[in-house]
Structure 1
Amino acid sequence: MAIPASTPLASLPPRPYRRFLTSALHTRFVHAALISLLVALNNAFWIGSKRDLFWSWFPFGPAGIKALLFFMSSLFIFILQIATLRIGRQTTTSPFATFIANFLSSTALQTAFWYLVSAWWFTEAYIWSSPDLGWITRGNHKTPDVLNEKPIFFRLYALVLASAYSAIHLYQGHSLLHIPVSRLPTKPSTDSKAPDTHPIEPIQTQLQRRIIPSLAQSAVIAAVAIVATPFINTLGLRQFFWQLHLTLAKPFFNLSRANARPIGYPPLGLFYLGRCLLAGFWLVLTWELTSMLFLTYLKQEPSKTGLPLSATSKDPNGTLLTGLKAKRDVVKTFAFWELDLIAQKHKDRRKAIFEDIERPTGPIWGQTLEAGLKVLRDIDSRITGPPPKEPDPQPNQTVKTLPHIVPELPTRSILQAKPKASMGELLVSSPLRQIGRSKNPWHLSVEQTTKVAGTKLLEYAKPPGADKMPSQSLLGQWAISLQKSPLGWLFLSTKAAKINAAVLGSPSGNAAMIVDVIDSITKMLVASLSEDTYGKATPTVPETVRTFTKTLTIIDSFVLKNSQGLDGGIEEVEIITERLRSGLKELLSAFQLYLLDVGLGIAELNQAKRAVEIPQSEEAEDKAVEPAHHRQLFSNDIQKGKPSKRQRGTESQETRPTNRLEAGPGTSGTSRGALASQINGRLNRKREMEQIR
């Protein structure tokens, strides 16, 4: 329940929504971490020694210690996921833009760093648990101690795995929390339960469905890396890593000068390469399962024991409002998701939001609605551009002066005005005066010369038959030629990518928040008809209808403009337009008796009704309109001799002396057709006026 404004707590700032969300996400993180600990125990069993079968898996022993060490590799990936978490999916417009957004950003540096740290920790834990992978190989009284090259190779192998998987992590978007959105049901459900906006499967089902692809991908990555690492080691990195290990080992071991360079081939056999392959497989699988568990557990609705997260706050409405106005997309997305759940399932919270009207910042519903409509206005600005800034009003600067004793003198010139020059003088004197004032009258300036030369070069560079093409800048022509080159696919963008980037946002689009905004506002306003005690929600309907209409019209026009050659790929945009059209239709149906009384104009109402209709392509519109131009309703009546009401009225007035056109018995078929077309034209104009009214 909302707290009345008269209580002392109403004047206190509400607790931020992100604290309740962080607490819920922390609980989910703990569940994911516990499963990751089981994965680490599995790694300790398969990688460790099998001399004693019981102690190789018993968690309260050496296996448990090794499992904790392997779990640190998962913990580093959890830190990475929390630091780089984003909502939505990638919506870049071209492969080059995808490369820039993924690999030339701070997120790429964090990803590479934490994967390298995770791989290094896993490597050291594996080497520590394997007695034959020490720093040196002990010699006898005849041979000195030498560096052990097996752990050097394994560290290089782990480095290759970390580099490769960090690129895969960025490319596949493992830090993107994609919340699915559902289409509207084709048939209205008979159950009282409303269909879920976000069709999320149970956690167990998601894990079972994704475990097989994760195993296959881990095996492929580990196999490709074990094949590539010996070649990478031979290309000069062997000497570098040898010198690095030698520098670190000299303070602790007595090594001779014979260890300065590696000798011969690396002592790697098929058995050792198989061990490296198995360890690499478990390392990559650890990364795969860690990312999968993190995203799966976080992708749950913001509720706790069946109630919204903000229900435990002393000021639930104020807490929820801080989440709706948050700057971070993660907090804002879960806040609007919670608002959608309240609009669907929690009647008490809906009534509390409508009744909370005595806050210093205004009614809660008004602020909630404004936060939601701002999300839709952002779509408009992404498609049409930001609105022009209004010029700042300049105050009238009037200088107060003393009263004049003497009248002011006239300000007109005392010299006689020059007579108006003739056309011949203008043609001759202006060029001559310019030559006379110039220091170098017979040499063009550098700017003019450069401009003329650039124009001539552009004209010369045009392909044959392109004389009528509009002149473009040299940079623009280079861009066009680059797109036509073999590397042009890097810079080409599809129409589906442009539509997704404009509607959902770029470089990542969040369709879940947009759908929650539309659904929650629609359901809250419809519920206000029976639950709004003070009637504060009804006056906000016109602005909601205007915003829905404008956003729907802009999206439909933009999609229709880019629909030629479009082969799918805009499913989320189509879902948004379906939700907008359905929400607008529901509002018009529910408030049809109040719209004109609360400030919605007739023209705006007609525009909203036209926006509800599904737009058609231009060809379909032409085919639909074409039969209307060939109707022969009245002309057929005339030809068949069956006069209509209008004709009977005309026949009754034939005796009156008028200047109107009359179709007498001797009139030809052409004149009768002209008369019918005039009547049809007047009738069509009358119908159009009735539709406008």
Structure 2
Amino acid sequence: MANGKPAAPRARPYKDFLTPALHRCFTNAALIGLGTCWIEAIVMSKPSLVFWSWFPLSLTGIRTGLLFVSSLTVFVLRVAQIHVGTRTNSSFASSVWSVGLNKRTFWTIVWYWVSAFLFSETYIFSTADKANLAWIDPGRTYERPRLNERAVLLRTVFGILAVAQGFLHVYGDYDSLKISQPSPESTGRRQDASGESNDRKAPTPLSEFKAEMQSSVIQSFIKTILVGIWGPILYFSVLRGWAWSVARTVGRAFFTINKSQSPAGLTDVFALFGRYMVSAFMLVFMWQMTNLAFTVYARQSPLKKGQPLTNDSKHPNGSLVSGLKAKKDIPHSMALWELRLIAEQFEDRRRTIYNDFEKPGASTWLDIAAACLAEIERVSKSIQTAQAPTTTHAEIASNTEASTHKARLTQPLQEDDNIFRPARKAQSAAELVADGTSAVAKYVGQSPGGNQLASKVRSYLASPAGQEQFSPQRITGLINQCALKFLRTWIGSYFCVPFAQRMNAIVFGSPYSNAADVHNATRALSRLAVKSLTEDPFGQVQKDVGRIMRALMNTIRDLHTLTRTLEPHWTDVHFDGKRSSPEVEELLVTLEESLESIITNFGEYISALGISRQELQSAKNLVGRGQEMIKRS
């Protein structure tokens, strides 16, 4: 239509803005990794060449490039396996089991092994001839070339170091993207009357990197020492023959080596150990710096030049809503984080949420409210699902018997006059089992001492002493007693399911926690609701205030009920009666702060918002009881 209203610009997907931001984070982290590789390349250079030891257009530059390829393998691993939230396994043993038998663990070890291999080859290539680390030892003029066990040992220990780092990477959950969430210490009751947060400015990535660098250096040294002690032990006790066979196979492709050659032993062991300590520390330090740089830059807030990411979109709110509706965890979580920042820090952008009606379908406010309420209500649904009574096996069996008839377990007698004919061979699995059982029964019954032994067993079991000795209650009690004794040992403690860990899995889901999403959704929704009193010219938020208030109340009630009624797991032998979880208490604080802000700002308008006096009083009681509980703890 020529005179019609122009169509609203189509909103670009949220990932179109998030992906370049992640690329910038990757680039900044890679620059730190490149700087680390350049420093290590200088350390590997010959000290006599002062200028060429640091000048990039030299062998130092080539070494830097090769080491950077080794560092990039870790970056590729982090990008491929990144996920949101921390792991919520119920116990240490379940964590080890889940990460030990996992495709993710396999590929993590593979990528670290590739990184270690590239680093070791670069280091050996950079060492002087007198270090005697070449693949082949030419020997004297009259001797045939032979494998150099010094190089075989060094490469094997680097492989052991890669395997150890891979397991630590998976178990330590290095790939977790920890979305920022407001903590009670930094935000609890620290808002002005208008509802604005008084949080301090977040530190810069470089300041975070410097703050955590010291601990990374210490961890690098500890890992190097441990593998330096256990690596040679594993090599000589388990891996020597296999490593020698692999090295000989590779060496025979390039050199003339005796096929039956055996390990010749090591020379100058202390010098070799010193070289291992230096090179292994550099490798682990490079891994630590790479992981630290990626972690620090990946968890930066979704801002670009101090403004929300989606501000560059022709339809910013539409792009933000597309992120809130995303199925993948990372865009969804980052969009919730950006929404909270908009609600708390960017007034101009926040006002557009109340005034945006150009988006196809529902208004921007309705889409945002629905996404945030879904996160809050998901907590209540998870708790209700965990507390719902489950159908026992006995009930299932009784229902099955009532609805169906039992199948015939025996076959009718065969009508056959020729009793001397050989028996028919079994055709089915059931017939094979029946024939085997029949043969065993005949053997036992026809054996000389079979009847006597069977009668003794039957008579003992029929006696009161036998019935008491082998009663189901006694056997079950003995098993439980042994299990509890085992759980109280230091080994058994790894199989215990702590109360707090179990509660976290129920409230925040598994295998990864969505605590940050719930915090950000709650904070964003409450701020938008409170600010609508002065910034919503059309009053579209007021009709949803009652729903928001009820959702917060229901979630707080469910959390209180779960804390009060959840029974400790039978393996939690160290339960001290403290029914609490730090993560759940933080969520309670956030929910109660949000509910309190709504009560304070909308209390005088309850009659117009569809909120009864009873609901308002109940909300006040919930907030008061929550404060008392926090003070007691």
For this structure pair, what is the TM-score category when the shorter chain's length is used for normalisation? 0.7 to 0.9
Q: Is the 8 A contact 2:197 2:344 kept in 1?
A: no
Q: Is the 8 A contact 1:182 1:198 kept in 2?
A: no
Give secondary structure in 1 for the equivalent of 2:111: helix
Structure 1: any 5+ residue segments left out of the alignment?
Answer: 389-437, 441-452, 465-473, 622-693
Letter in structure 2 aligned against 1:514? V
Aligned: 1:534 with 2:538? yes
Give secondary structure in 1 for the equivalent of 2:606: coil
Partner of 2:331: 331
Residues 435-477 of structure 1, C-alpha deviations (whole Å, 9 max, x = no match): xxx999xxxxxxxxxxxx9xx899813249xxxxxxxxx7x99
Q: Is the 8 A contact 1:377 1:547 kept in 2?
A: yes
Q: For residues 383 and 199 of structure 1, do their structure 2 counterparts lie closer, same or farther at Cα, with a shift above 3 Å needed?
A: farther
Shift of 1:23: 0.6
Aligned: 1:460 with 2:451? no
1:308-457 aligned at under 5 Å gives the runs 308-385=308-385
Q: Is the 8 A contact 2:192 2:198 kept in 1?
A: no
Q: For residues 458 and 581 of structure 1, do their structure 2 counterparts lie closer, same or farther at Cα, with a shift above 3 Å needed?
A: farther
Match of 2:607 among 596, 599, 612: 596
Residues 179-209 of structure 1, C-alpha deviations (whole Å, 9 max, x = no match): 3532165665679994466974332332222
Q: For residues 196 and 266 of structure 1, do their structure 2 counterparts lie closer, same or farther at Cα, with a shift above 3 Å needed?
A: farther
Partner of 1:468: none
Q: Is the 8 A contact 1:181 1:572 kept in 2?
A: no
Measured in 2, the distance between the counterparts of 1:494 and 1:101 equals 17
Q: Is the 8 A contact 1:89 1:508 kept in 2?
A: yes
Shift of 1:100: 2.8
Partner of 2:401: none
Aligned: 1:248 with 2:259? no
Aligned: 1:8 with 2:7? yes
Shift of 1:90: 2.8
Partner of 2:92: 95
1:14-163 aligned at under 5 Å gives the runs 14-130=11-127, 131=129, 132-163=132-163
Structure-1-length-normalised TM-score: 0.72
Residues 33-57 of structure 1, C-alpha deviations (whole Å, 9 max, x = no match): 1111010011112223323122112
Residues 99-118 of structure 1, C-alpha deviations (whole Å, 9 max, x = no match): 23322223212211211111
Q: Is the 8 A contact 1:134 1:148 kept in 2?
A: yes
Shift of 1:347: 2.1
Shift of 1:289: 0.9
Partner of 2:556: 552
Partner of 1:635: none
Measured in 2, the distance between the counterparts of 1:97 and 1:617 equals 36
Partner of 1:639: none
Letter in structure 1 aligned against 2:182? V
Letter in structure 2 aligned against 1:56? S
Q: Is the 8 A contact 1:150 1:268 kept in 2?
A: no
Measured in 1, the distance between the counterparts of 2:285 and 2:76 equals 17
Measured in 2, the distance between the counterparts of 1:595 and 1:89 equals 40
Aligned: 1:205 with 2:207? yes
Partner of 2:623: 612
Measured in 2, the distance between the counterparts of 1:477 and 1:371 equals 52
Residues 492-547 of structure 1, C-alpha deviations (whole Å, 9 max, x = no match): 21111122222222232232222111111011011111211222111111111110
Shift of 1:385: 0.6
Measured in 2, the distance between the counterparts of 1:195 and 1:329 equals 26
- Indicate the larger mover: 329-338 or 282-291: 329-338
Partner of 1:261: 262
Q: For residues 289 and 188 of structure 1, do their structure 2 counterparts lie closer, same or farther at Cα, with a shift above 3 Å needed?
A: closer
Letter in structure 1 aligned against 2:78? Q
Shift of 1:595: 2.9
Measured in 1, the distance between the counterparts of 2:200 and 2:76 equals 27
Letter in structure 2 aligned against 1:260? Q
Measured in 2, the distance between the counterparts of 1:117 and 1:107 equals 16
Residues 332-382 of structure 1, C-alpha deviations (whole Å, 9 max, x = no match): 221111111111122222221112224432111111111111111111122
Measured in 1, the distance between the counterparts of 2:384 and 2:368 equals 25
Q: For residues 617 and 309 of structure 1, do their structure 2 counterparts lie closer, same or farther at Cα, with a shift above 3 Å needed?
A: closer
Partner of 1:678: none
Measured in 2, the distance between the counterparts of 1:114 and 1:185 equals 41
Give secondary structure in 2 for the equivalent of 1:45: helix
> Quick check: which one's helix share is greater?
2
Q: Is the 8 A contact 1:120 1:155 kept in 2?
A: yes
Measured in 1, the distance between the counterparts of 2:535 and 2:387 equals 37
Q: For residues 568 and 158 of structure 1, do their structure 2 counterparts lie closer, same or farther at Cα, with a shift above 3 Å needed?
A: farther
Measured in 2, the distance between the counterparts of 1:262 and 1:375 equals 62
Partner of 1:494: 498
Partner of 1:510: 514
Shift of 1:567: 5.5
Q: For residues 261 and 91 of structure 1, do their structure 2 counterparts lie closer, same or farther at Cα, with a shift above 3 Å needed?
A: same
Shift of 1:593: 3.4
Q: Is the 8 A contact 2:160 2:227 kept in 1?
A: yes
Q: Is the 8 A contact 1:119 1:162 kept in 2?
A: yes
Q: Is the 8 A contact 2:499 2:579 kept in 1?
A: no
Give secondary structure in 2 for the equivalent of 1:508: coil
Partner of 2:237: 235
Shift of 1:480: 7.7
Letter in structure 1 aligned against 2:247? H
Measured in 2, the distance between the counterparts of 1:527 and 1:15 equals 27
1:287-302 aligned at under 5 Å gives the runs 287-302=287-302
1:461-476 aligned at under 5 Å gives the runs 461-463=472-474
Residues 16-37 of structure 1, C-alpha deviations (whole Å, 9 max, x = no match): 1122111111111111111110
Letter in structure 2 aligned against 1:519? R
Give secondary structure in 2 for the equivalent of 1:509: coil
Q: Is the 8 A contact 1:182 1:199 kept in 2?
A: no
Shift of 1:267: 2.9
Q: Is the 8 A contact 1:200 1:300 kept in 2?
A: no
Q: Is the 8 A contact 2:530 2:598 kept in 1?
A: yes
Q: Is the 8 A contact 1:48 1:129 kept in 2?
A: yes
Give secondary structure in 2 for the equivalent of 1:594: helix
Larger Rg: 1
Measured in 2, the distance between the counterparts of 1:44 and 1:84 equals 29
Residues 657-684 of structure 1, C-alpha deviations (whole Å, 9 max, x = no match): xxxxxxxxxxxxxxxxxxxxxxxxxxxx
Give secondary structure in 1 for the equivalent of 2:609: coil
Q: For residues 439 and 29 of structure 1, do their structure 2 counterparts lie closer, same or farther at Cα, with a shift above 3 Å needed?
A: closer
Q: For residues 237 and 595 of structure 1, do their structure 2 counterparts lie closer, same or farther at Cα, with a shift above 3 Å needed?
A: same
Give secondary structure in 2 for the equivalent of 1:165: helix
Match of 1:587 among 598, 601, 604: 598
Give secondary structure in 1 for the equivalent of 2:603: coil
Measured in 1, the distance between the counterparts of 2:479 and 2:12 equals 56
Give secondary structure in 2 for the equivalent of 1:593: helix
RMSD (Å) for aligned C-alpha atoms: 3.2
Q: Is the 8 A contact 1:222 1:281 kept in 2?
A: yes
Give secondary structure in 1 for the equivalent of 2:607: coil
Q: For residues 236 and 110 of structure 1, do their structure 2 counterparts lie closer, same or farther at Cα, with a shift above 3 Å needed?
A: closer
Letter in structure 1 aligned against 2:538? Y
Structure-2-length-normalised TM-score: 0.79
Measured in 1, the distance between the counterparts of 2:317 and 2:303 equals 15
Letter in structure 1 aligned against 2:585? E
Q: How many residues align?
A: 541
